[in-house]
Structure 1
Amino acid sequence: MASERTYFFYKDVLPFAAMVTMECTNVGLNTLYKAATLRGMSYHVFVVYSYAVAAFLLLPAPFFSGRSSVLPPVNFSIVSKIGLLGIIGCTSQIMGYTGIIYSSPTLASAISNLVPAFTFILAVIFRMETLSFSKKSTRAKFMGTIVSVAGAFVVTLYKGPKIIDLSSSHLSSSSPKLSLGSPQPNWAIGGLFLSTEYILVPLWYIVQTQIMKEYPSELTVVFFYNLIVSILAAIVGAFSEPDSSVWKIKPDIALVSILCSGVLGSCLNNSVHTWALRLKGPLFVAMFKPLSIAIAVAMGVMFLGDDLYLGSVIGATIISIGFYTVMWGKGKESTIKDKVINLESSSTPTSPLLQNYKDEDMESR
């Protein structure tokens, strides 16, 4: 009984709690990043230094994994896939930041909500997710993905009337508002760059999951990934930011942002994502993208004194419904697989018990 509880905690409770924690952390890191870039820090510099910090922290990982007798030897196939992962990660970040420059963060948030849909499609293409609408689990995952994406669009695009007013009217009237948008936005070009980014993100999930199947050492893979992204970003940054003074970081919000992003983002966040991808698959990880918008709204109201609008409440509710629908489908699918594996391990291939269970499972769908 105790082993079953431990297994349930490791397979279901811990990944869920870890992903929610990481999304909350990402909200704080994004706030620090915005504050640093508003002070003049280049995003090329930010990417290079933050990933370099993460690679330095994970430097011992390859030496420890090299001593393991469980892991396979590092071969050309593994190295090439990690290299491809680094290229995808670096390209997606450059595309995303460029897209925001041409358009706005609002459009970026709206298009990012398509990550679960893109991930689901790619996971089906690469046969990581089964698509059989005769199964309740498949219908739940499909409908939950659509509902979550719809809810995220509601939060992003619909404001609605104000429910809770926490802002000070005299401060808002006397203080100039800071715009994060481009003064002359080119939405077509920006949307193209952002769409490319959020097609690459699900592809990153897919490639990372494949690497974990071949070489299940999260910290080692994340170390090489961070190192490759830092090197590639430095090469791009050398052409984009030729002024050497831009690369000098002062001990202010820019340094804090780089260190926090390197430790909590590129190091911890990527490691947790890689672990969750190996344990639960790409769709599970992608489903937290719309949920992160609801988390950002909640944290903004609780800690930053942001106003709460009706659109945020409605959208967050829709996201939650879709999210838990997908989780229910994934949980049902995982339970069925575990029961079949346990029955197969304790029964012969011709066992009537196993055959009866499979028949009952088909009837329940």
Structure 2
Amino acid sequence: MKEYVGMVATQVAQVLLMIVSKSAIADGMSSYSFIFYSNAIASLILLPLSCLAFHRSPNRPPISFSIVCGFLIVGLFGFFAQISGYTGVSYSSATLGTTLLNLIPGFTFILAALFRMEAIDIRRLTTQAKFIGTVVSIAGAIIMTLYQGPSIIPSSLKATISNHLVLGQSSNWVLGGVLLTIDAIFASLYIISQAVVLKKYPLVINLMFSYCLICTFLSGLASFVVESDLSSFNLQPNMRLFSVLYSGIFGYAFLVTVQSWCVRRRGPLFVAMFHPVGIVIANLIGVIFLGDGFYLGSLLGSIIVVIGFYTVMWGKAQEQKIAADHSSVSSKLDGETAPLLQDVEEQSVSSTP
């Protein structure tokens, strides 16, 4: 259950990151400066941990040219996902951002099938379960976001004002939607590239340190090229400083490291499937802590998301069970074959004149 607990924790951190980043950008901070500070703080946190992990790992593979290229590819995909995502949220709203990020499981499933990271055989029930569960989870998340329905628990006036200020909508939804769709594509490529690199270089902390360092360099370079007003780097008022500190510590150092660890342990589709679950977590946080209303659309969407999520997890569990059974059968056959060969060799030796 460690991977499940870890992914739920990262989704809570992701929901809060969406809120604080929207607040900082709405307060005048640019996407580039926000990404620069967040990744710089995460790099400082992960630097001593990566050095410690590197020196304590007895079976660490050598850093070859292909691994360095893999680090750069992960950093590039992650940087493009961050830029398109935060810019898309600034043009539209966190609501639309949360909705379109639920395309990540579908894109990840397709890419994982193309790269043969997921067993695909449409005749098998496990493959059908993963495909249907992915589609159902995405549909449930979209229903939760776009369909409200009658109120089950009314919202408070404070929550209504807070949502208007923090999650407020913009008129340029078309451009925001295009950028958020691009974000979902790059996020899927980022998850897949992690899985590829971690097969050759399984030190998660070192990979995530290099990822944050590359994003820091690229965002800083992009800021000086694109930004004409460098006042966006100012960390005053305090809301900017709080948003950057939260993003660096929990939104990047913690979130990306745990997600990468889960990618190595369970595969890319397992991690991607938690994005629709994040919608359910966002609604629970809003109702319990922020006084948001709870509506029929949220209830129906949550049920559909959970059904789809468990359908995918059931399919993956059955695949692991089948693989374990095949492994045990093959090991038994090997154990039975060895004595048989030994008996044949003894008989041939004894019959030799």
Structure 1 range deviating more: 46-55 or 241-250? 241-250
Look up the match of 2:77.
88
Number of residue pairs the alignment of both structures matches: 335
Q: Is 1:199 aligned to residue 185 of structure 2?
A: yes
- In structure 2, relative to structure 1, the CA distance for the partners of 1:96 and 1:17 (3 Å cut) is same
Q: Which secondary structure does the structure 1 equivalent of 2:152 belong to?
A: strand
Deviation at 1:349, TM superposition (A): 8.3
2:159–2:290 Cα contact (<8 Å) kept: no
1:64-108 C-alpha deviation (Å, 9 max, x unpaired): 344333011111111111101111111111112233344443333
Closer, same or farther: CA 145–177 of 1 in aligned 2, 3 Å: closer
Q: Equivalent residue for 2:262?
A: 276
Equivalent residue for 2:205? 219
Task: Report the equivalent of 2:45.
Answer: 57
Query: Which sections of structure 1, spanning at least 5 residues, go unmatched?
Result: 1-12, 352-365
Partner of 1:361 in structure 2? Answer: none
Q: How far did 1:34 drift?
A: 2.7
RMSD (Å) for aligned C-alpha atoms: 2.2
Pairs within 5 Å for 1:206-245: 206-245=192-231
- Provide the TM-score with structure 1 as the length reference: 0.86
Show the counterpart of 2:87: 98
Distance 1:101 1:121, change over 3 A: same
Q: Which amino acid aligns with 2:68?
A: V
2:330 paired residue among 344, 357, 362: 344
Q: Distance in 2 between the 1:238 and 1:49 partners?
A: 14
1:43 maps to a residue whose letter is: S
For the 8 Å contact 1:137–1:330, the answer to whether it is kept is yes
Alpha-carbon distance in 1 for matches of 2:173, 2:310: 37
- Please tell me whether the aligned partners of residues 59 and 223 of structure 1 are also in contact (alpha carbons under 8 angstroms): yes
CA contact (8 A) 2:159 2:292 kept: no
Partners of 2:227 and 2:160 in 1: CA distance: 37
Greater Cα offset, 110-119 or 38-47? 38-47
**C-alpha separation in 1, matches of 2:160 and 2:117:** 53
The one-letter amino acid of 2:149's match is G
Is the contact between residue 104 and residue 185 of structure 1 (CA under 8 Å) also seen in structure 2?
Answer: no
2:147 corresponds to: 158
* 2:15 alignment partner, one of 14, 27, 36: 27
Is the aligned partner of 1:296 residue 2:285?
A: no
Q: Which runs of 5+ in 2 are unaligned?
A: 338-353
- 1:8 aligns with none
**2:341 counterpart residue number:** none
1:6-45 per-position Cα deviation (integer Å, ceiling 9, x unaligned):
xxxxxxx110111011111222232222333333222221
User: Does 2:295 align with 1:309?
Assistant: yes
Residues 161-212 of structure 1: CA deviation (Å, up to 9, x unaligned):
11111414xx689999436222x3151x333222211111111111000111
* Code of the aligned partner of 1:161: P
Asked if residue 286 in structure 1 is aligned to residue 272 in structure 2, the reply is yes
Distance in 2, matches of 1:160 and 1:109, equals 19
Q: 1:287 to 1:175 in 2, by over 3 A?
A: closer
Counterparts of 1:124 and 1:48 in 2: how far apart (Å)?
34
In structure 1, C-alpha distance between the alignment counterparts of 2:336 and 2:69, rounded to whole Å: 43
**Paired residue type of 2:176:** G
Flag the 1:350–1:154 CA change in 2: closer, same or farther, 3 A: farther
Deviations 1:257-304 (A, max 9, x none): 211211112111111111100110110000000110011001100111
Sequence identity percentage = 41
Runs of 4+ in 1 over 6 A off after TM superposition: 171-176
CA distance in 2, matches of 1:104, 1:245: 23
CA distance in 1, matches of 2:129, 2:83: 34
More helix by share: 2
Counterpart CA distance in 2 for 1:115 and 1:343 is: 37
1:111 Cα deviation (Å)? 1.9
Structure 1 residues 288 and 63: alpha-carbon distance in aligned structure 2, compared to 1, 3 A threshold: same
Amino acid at match of 1:185: N
Give the CA deviation at 1:350: 7.9
In the alignment, the residues of structure 1 paired with residue 181 and residue 160 of structure 2 have an alpha-carbon distance, to the nearest angstrom, of: 36
Structure with max Cα Rg: 2
User: Separation in 2 of the partners of 1:52 and 1:42?
Assistant: 16
Task: Kindly indicate whether residue 60 of structure 2 is the aligned counterpart of residue 47 of structure 1.
Answer: no
1:163 partner SS: strand
Deviation digits for residues 127-157 of structure 1 (CA, Å, limit 9, x no counterpart): 1112112222111111111110110110111
Question: How far apart, CA to CA, are the structure 1 residues paired with 2:263 and 2:47?
Answer: 22
Partner of 1:69: 58
